[in-house]
Amino acid sequence: MRIPLSRFLIEQQRESKTLDPNLRLLIEVVARACKAIAIAIGKGNLGDAMGTAGTDNVQGEVQKKLDVISNEILLDANEWGGHLAAMASEEMDLPFCIPNRYPKGEYLLVFDPLDGSSNIDVNISVGTIFSVLRAPEGIDCANGDAFLQKGCTQVAAGYAVYGPNTQLVLTFGHGVHVFTLDREIGTFRLTQENLQIPEDTREFAINMSNQRHWEEPVQRYVAELLAGKEGPRGEDFNMRWVASMVADVHRILSRGGLFMYPLDAKMAKQGGKLRLLYEANPMAFLIEQAGGAATTGRERILDLQPTSLHQRVPVILGSKNEVERVTSYHKD
């Protein structure tokens, strides 16, 4: 335990022989970029990175300066490494193809450079979410079609959470591992191996202000939780909502729980709130690898066939038995 990320990755490559050296190097570069983002965030009001950038992203959301900075850090760090064919991001309308002056690689990287950025000005945890896919041969990555792969084909996924400490949570499809940034020496060190989520929980996360817009199955499920000991569940449930998916998912990976951003009438047209390729898929991969489950209420998230780069989907994930219960209410 406590070994540096680079040594952990080399050992994985040697022992399991499932980790390709280029993928290992790619993850090291992503980890370095996350470290740079952590430093930019850590300066807070002492730096020049707080507040809005004065622009909107492709989804019409106001961009924070740190959304733009984090996006640039990830692009700059990864464009010349030779491991990628293209990158796509929440903050860019179209993918970024690796320029011809740099060597091209066999992977695609897709990311939410700063998740929960509405929390940044009030000093609440935010994060970076990423997913790695294989670049399909013969498909032009410039229009985004290359990225339209089911979540179950991800070769790696993870996130960095910038909280009281910075942690990197990773999976290559063989368990979930947590690395904590040792700030003094600037290295991520392994602090938890093969994380497992308890199958049962008494904690849930949902934005209750949307209650009037929810569909019937979610109304029923949450009403049963809120009824507590006196209700059909016969137990009291606790609620938490950080409004940074990274922070909410990190709590669930650490001690169990249920996270829901379900379909609601307000956002039915756009299909949900959270983005499939760089929020739902990487988080679903991590959650399943830790023994949890992730669905839209109707289907397993990792089985969804993406239809567009910035597609949104409903998300229900976390402790297996609760995810299965909500999902079964959608089938009733």
Ligand X SMILES: O=P(O)(O)OC[C@H]1O[C@](O)(COP(=O)(O)O)[C@@H](O)[C@@H]1O
Tell whether the torsion through CA atoms of 296, 297, 298 and 302 is positive or negative.
positive
79 binds Mg ion (CB under 5 A): no
Contacting residue, 90, 203, 248, 264, with Mg ion by CB under 5 A: 90
Residue with smallest beta-carbon separation from Mg ion? 115
Reading the block at residue 264, the tokens are 């609601």
Phi, psi of 212 (to 5 degrees): -65, -15
Contact 117/235 with Cβ under 8 angstroms? no
Cβ 75 to ligand X, closest distance in Å?
Answer: 16
- As to burial, measured by CB atoms within 10 angstroms (0-12 exposed, 13-18 middle, 19+ buried), residue 185 is exposed
207 binds ligand X (CB under 6 A): yes
Cβ 36 to ligand X, closest distance in Å?
Answer: 18
Contact 181/165 with Cβ under 8 angstroms? yes
**Contacts with Mg ion: how many residues (CB under 5 A)?**
4
Dist CA 5 CA 166 (whole Å): 14
Q: Based on CB atoms, which residue is closest to ligand X, 52 or 187?
A: 52
Question: How crowded is the C-beta side of 65, counted as CA atoms within 13 Å?
Answer: 11
Stretch that binds ligand X, among 27-35, 114-122, 214-222, 280-288 (CB under 6 A): 114-122
What residues pair up with 256 in beta bridges, in sequence order? Answer: none
Residue 247's contacts (CB-CB under 8 Å, 6 or more residues apart) are: 116, 124, 125, 126, 127, 161, 163
Tell whether the torsion through CA atoms of 82, 86, 89 and 93 is positive or negative.
positive
258 binds ligand X (CB under 6 A): no
112 binds Mg ion (CB under 5 A): yes
49 binds ligand X (CB under 6 A): no
Q: Based on CB atoms, which residue is closest to ligand X, 9 or 205?
A: 205
Q: Based on CB atoms, which residue is closest to Mg ion, 156 or 315?
A: 315
Is residue 308 part of an annotated ligand binding site? no
Contacting residue, 112, 203, 288, 322, with ligand X by CB under 6 A: 112
Which residues contact ligand X by CB under 6 A? 61, 90, 112, 115-118, 207, 243-245, 261
Binding-site residues for substrate: 115-118, 207, 273
Q: Which residues bind Mg ion (CB under 5 A)?
A: 90, 112, 114-115
